[in-house]
């Protein structure tokens, strides 16, 4: 499973498990070697590890430098996929929904590795999909926002019905155009919730990031 720590990957994993067509044997995540955080989502490795434990799956990290060129990224990813193929993995599951260029890129890289790319959410209506995820009990927080595409004030907010109702029409309800990214802390795919608190917000390279922190006493969005 190509694991971003966000809602779409979590939902794709959930649907794959429900279908029973493929056995998910691990999570594959790119992590910034310098900062110890999930690429783009900015999530700490400790929380990534907590997600893996709650999913009951081993975590396979692809450590990438910062900055990372497309060439270096390609070399690192090919090595990781080659190892997975040698271990008997035949498919990689992605949470992409409608970006054709992204799908084509992933399919080409998987073909090179002798593997198949799977897209359980492909061409889903993102409005319907967003409501389905929330109604299922999936719980997430907005951890990254591109303020050029989405309102700045959605950073750190819970991904819930109230948030969806507040989004302008120009923002995809699933953030599929890169408007925002999420961290999933609970849902039907997890054996238990991930206990978190909300840290500071920083602006870096034109994006807003919330520092999601692990905590012992669970509290988020005003609820305990």
Residue with tokens 């390279």: 205
pLDDT in tens, 72-121: 999 999 999 999 999 999 999 999 999 999 999 999 999 999 999 999 99
Residue with tokens 């590890």: 49
pLDDT beyond 70 at 133: yes
Q: Determine the Cα–Cα distance for residues 23 and 120; give it in Å rounded to an integer.
A: 14
Can you give the pTM of this predicted structure?
Answer: 0.93
Q: Determine the Cα–Cα distance for residues 96 and 56; give it in Å rounded to an integer.
A: 23
Whether 220 maps to a domain, the answer reads: no
Task: Print the domain residue range for 56.
Answer: 7-118
- Which CATH number do you get for residue 42? 3.40.50.620
Q: Determine the Cα–Cα distance for residues 181 and 162; give it in Å rounded to an integer.
A: 17
Token pair recorded at residue 94: 């992605």
Same domain, 103 and 134: no
- Residue 216 pLDDT: 61
- pLDDT mean over 16-32: 96
Same domain, 92 and 160: no
pLDDT beyond 90 at 214: yes
Q: Which residue has the higher pLDDT, 73 or 40?
A: 73
Choosing from 118, 135, 167, the residue where a domain stops is 118
Same domain, 51 and 134: no
Same domain, 42 and 110: yes
Q: Determine the Cα–Cα distance for residues 144 and 156; give it in Å rounded to an integer.
A: 8
Q: Determine the Cα–Cα distance for residues 46 and 51; give it in Å rounded to an integer.
A: 9
Instruction: Work out how many domains the chain is built from and give that number.
Output: 2
Same domain, 18 and 91: yes
Choosing from 86, 118, 150, the residue where a domain stops is 118
Residues 6 or more apart whose CB falls under 8 angstroms from that of 42 comprise 143, 144, 181, 209, 210, 211
Whether 42 maps to a domain, the answer reads: yes
Whether 1 maps to a domain, the answer reads: no
| Residue 189 phi, psi (nearest 5) | -85, -15
Whether 49 maps to a domain, the answer reads: yes
- Residue 90 pLDDT: 97
Same domain, 134 and 67: no
Pick the closest to residue 159 from 137, 178, 177, 176 (CA basis).
Answer: 137
Same domain, 27 and 110: yes
Strands, DSSP E only, in 103-153? 116-118, 139-145
Same domain, 114 and 136: no
pLDDT beyond 90 at 158: yes
pLDDT in tens, 7-22: 999 999 999 999 999 9
Query: Crossing angle for the helix pair 126-136 and 7-19, nearest 10 degrees?
Result: 80
């Amino acid at each position: 499973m190509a694991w971003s720590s966000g809602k779409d990957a979590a939902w794709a994993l959930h649907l794959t498990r429900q279908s029973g067509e493929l056995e998910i044997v691990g999570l594959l995540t790119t992590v910034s070697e310098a900062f110890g955080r999930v690429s783009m989502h900015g999530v700490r490795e400790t929380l990534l590890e907590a997600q893996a434990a709650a999913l009951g799956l081993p975590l396979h990290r692809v450590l990438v430098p910062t900055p990372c060129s497309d060439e270096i990224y390609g070399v690192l990813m090919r090595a990781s996929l080659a190892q997975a193929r040698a271990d008997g993995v035949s498919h990689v599951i992605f949470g992409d929904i409608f970006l054709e260029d992204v799908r084509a890129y992933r399919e080409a890289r998987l073909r090179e590795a002798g593997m198949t790319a799977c897209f359980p959410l492909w061409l889903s209506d993102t409005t319907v999909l967003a409501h389905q995820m929330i109604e299922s009990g999936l719980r997430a927080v907005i951890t990254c926002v591109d303020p050029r595409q989405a309102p700045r004030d959605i950073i750190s907010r819970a991904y819930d019905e109230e948030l969806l109702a507040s989004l302008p029409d120009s923002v995809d309800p699933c953030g599929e155009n890169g408007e925002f990214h999420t961290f999933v802390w609970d849902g039907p795919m997890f054996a238990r919730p991930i206990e978190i608190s909300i840290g500071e917000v920083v602006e870096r390279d034109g994006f807003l990031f919330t520092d999601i922190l692990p905590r012992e006493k669970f509290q988020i969005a005003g609820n305990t």
